[in-house]
Amino acid sequence: MTSDHHRSTPGRRALLAGAGAGTLGLALSPTTALAATRAGRGVPPPHAARWPEPWPALEPYGTADTRTELWPREDNSFVLPLELRPRDEELGRVWMRDTFVDHFVVGGRSVYVCTGTSRVPSLDRAAPWNDGLFVWTAPSLRGPWSLVDTTGIRPGAEKGKVWSPEFVDENTPGRVVVAPWQEYWYDERFGKRGQVWAPEVHRFDDTWFIVACMGDHSRKVGSFMLRSEGGIEGPYRLVEGNHDKPFGDPFVGGPTFIEAGAYHHIDGSMYHEDGNAWLVLHNHLYARFRDDMEDIVPSTGLPEFQEQPYTPEPYIEGAYVFPKGGKYYLVGAVWDRTWTVDGERVYRYDDPGPGREQLHYDMVLAVADSFEGPYSPRWTAGVGAGHNNLFEDRSGQVWATYFLNPNAGYWSDPERIDDAAVAGVVRMEWTGPGDDRLYVARPRGGA
C-alpha cells in the first residue's frame, strides 16, 4: 500500500485521554511498569536517546495489550474536519467506519486523501445497504478538507460520491461501472440489500485506483477494484477481473444469512513498489496485479503471507502492508476479548466463547524483511484503533487512521457511541532500526 509519495481545525470532540482505563485491570510486569513509567514521565530510554524504547512483549503470545498509552488520546490524535454533506448536518460531523487516509505528491504538491465506509441517513449503520463511496482531499492533514468535485461528471448528483451501485445505468458496451453482483437486490427478511465497505484510494503509474469490498448483504461479498479514467474524482470503472465476481475464491465464512458460495475475501488493499503492484486481502492472502492492472495473477488459489499465528488464530480483518525503514509492516484488526480464568482477568486475541466479552477492536502489527514474510510475532500497536492504515505525512511523520468501532465492544456503549465512527488520525512512533516497532505515540513529558 505504498503511494507515489513514499520513499523505496481539530475534530468536534477530542478523544478521551485514557477513558475507561480503570476498568481494564491488566496487571503489568515490573519491566512493563518501568517502561510505562518512563513513557509517562518523559524519561529517555536507556538504549538510545534518539528512539523510544519498545514495549516489552506480553506473554503468552496472543495477549492483548490494554495500556492506555496505546490509545488514541487528546495529545496524539484528532478527528479530521471533513466537509459535511447534507446527511452530516444533524450529527455535526462525518460518520465513518474503516477510515482511510493517505498522502500523495502530485505535480509537486501535497494531496491528502480520505475515504471510508458511509451510511445512509435512514440507518444507524452501513447495513443492510448504503449508497456508495465518497472521497475528500486536503492540502495538509489539518485541512481544509473538501469533497472532491464530481459535479462535472454527474451534474445535480451528490458532491463527492465517486462510485455507487446507483451508477449501474452508466454501464455501456465494453465499459462496466457496476457489475450484476454489485447491484442492489431485495428479499423479505432485509428489504433493500447491498453495500460497499472499506474503500482505499491509491495512485499507481499516474492512475487513481480505489480498492473496496461489497459487504455482507451483497449478492456476492468480497473485494474489487475501480480504475479512474480521469482524476481522483473519476469517472471510475470496474476492472475486468471483477466483472463476474470479487477477487479470489469463495469460501465458507461470514454471517449465516450469506448465500452459499457468495462469500469471498474482504478488505482488499494495494501495495506497490518498483513498478509492481500487489493485492492484499484479509485471511492472510496476497496476489500480484497483472501489468495492465485489470486482474490479479493468479486469479484463484492465492498465496499466503508467512506469519506467526496465534493459538487459536482468531478472525483477522483489515490487512494492510506499510513500508518503513527498509521493513514491511503487516497490519491487521483483531478483537480483544476478555474473560476470567482462575479468578484473574485475561485479555486475549482469541475466538468468541461463553463468558467472553468483546472489548476493543485493536490495531495489531508484525514486521518482516520482505513483503511475503516471514513476519515477526505480532504486537498491539493501537488499542481500539483497528481496521486502519498507516501513512507518512509530508515531513515523514507516520500516522495511523482509526474509527472506533460502534457495532460492539467498548465504543458501542451508549455513553460513548457519540464519539465512535469517526475519521480519526493518530500519531505513531517508531523505535528505530534494529527494534523496528511502530506504536501509537505514548505521552511526552509530564509526571
Q: Compute the average pLDDT of residues 289-303.
A: 95
Q: Compute the average pLDDT of residues 353-378.
A: 97
Q: How confident is the model at residue 124, as a pLDDT?
A: 92
Question: Amino acid identity, residue 39?
Answer: A
Grid cell digits, residue 338: 476478555
Percent share of the chain, pLDDT over 70: 88
Location of C-alpha cell 498509552: 69
pLDDT over 80 at 8, yes or no: no
Q: Compute the average pLDDT of residues 303-320.
A: 96
* Separation of CA 110 from chain center: 22
Tell me the DSSP string of 322-348: EEETTEEEEEEEEEEEEEEETTEEEEE
pLDDT over 50 at 29, yes or no: no
Check if the beta carbon of residue 93 is closer than 8 Å to that of residue 404.
Answer: no
Q: How confident is the model at residue 425, as a pLDDT?
A: 98
Check if the beta carbon of residue 411 is closer than 8 Å to that of residue 431.
Answer: no
Q: DSSP secondary-structure letter at 166?
A: G
Q: How confident is the model at residue 23, as a pLDDT?
A: 33
Spatial CB neighbours of 17, under 8 Å, sequence gap ≥ 6: 68, 71, 73, 74, 75
Location of C-alpha cell 474482504: 266
Check if the beta carbon of residue 380 is closer than 8 Å to that of residue 388.
Answer: no
Cα torsion for 228, 123, 72, 63, to the nearest 10°?
-100
Q: How far apart are CA 64 and CA 58, in angstroms?
A: 8
Location of C-alpha cell 505504498: 2
Whole-number average pLDDT of the chain: 89
Q: Compute the average pLDDT of residues 110-125.
A: 96
Check if the beta carbon of residue 423 is closer than 8 Å to that of residue 403.
Answer: yes
Report pLDDT digits (tens) over 64-117.
999 999 999 999 999 999 999 999 999 999 999 999 999 999 999 999 999 999
pLDDT over 80 at 2, yes or no: no
Grid cell digits, residue 103: 498522502
Class of domain 21-440: mainly beta
pTM over 0.75: yes
Q: Over the Cα atoms of the chain, what is R_g? A: 21
Tell me the DSSP string of 380-421: EEETT--S--EEE-TTS-EEEEE---SSSSGGGSTTTGGG-S
- Residue 205's CB: how many other CB atoms inside 10 A? 11
Spatial CB neighbours of 252, under 8 Å, sequence gap ≥ 6: 263
| Backbone φ and ψ of 201, nearest 5° | -105, 130
Kindly give the pairing relationship between strand 379-382 and strand 390-392: unpaired
Q: Compute the average pLDDT of residues 403-424.
A: 97
Report pLDDT digits (tens) over 233-281.
999 999 999 999 999 999 988 899 999 999 999 999 999 999 999 999 9
Query: What pLDDT band is residue 31 in, cutting at 50, 70 and 90?
Result: very low
Domain locations in the chain as residue ranges: 21-440
Question: Which helix (H) or strand (E) element contains residue 161?
Answer: strand 161-163
Spatial CB neighbours of 438, under 8 Å, sequence gap ≥ 6: 324, 329, 365, 381, 390, 398, 428, 429, 430, 431
| Range list of β-strands (E), 90-160 | 97-106, 109-117, 133-138, 146-147
Grid cell digits, residue 239: 476492472
Check if the beta carbon of residue 256 is closer than 8 Å to that of residue 214.
Answer: no
Report pLDDT digits (tens) over 147-192.
999 999 999 899 999 999 999 999 999 999 999 999 999 999 999 9
Cα torsion for 441, 104, 223, 95, to the nearest 10°?
60
For 8, 287, 375, 436, the CA distances from 327, given in Å and listed in that order, are 10, 19, 10, 8
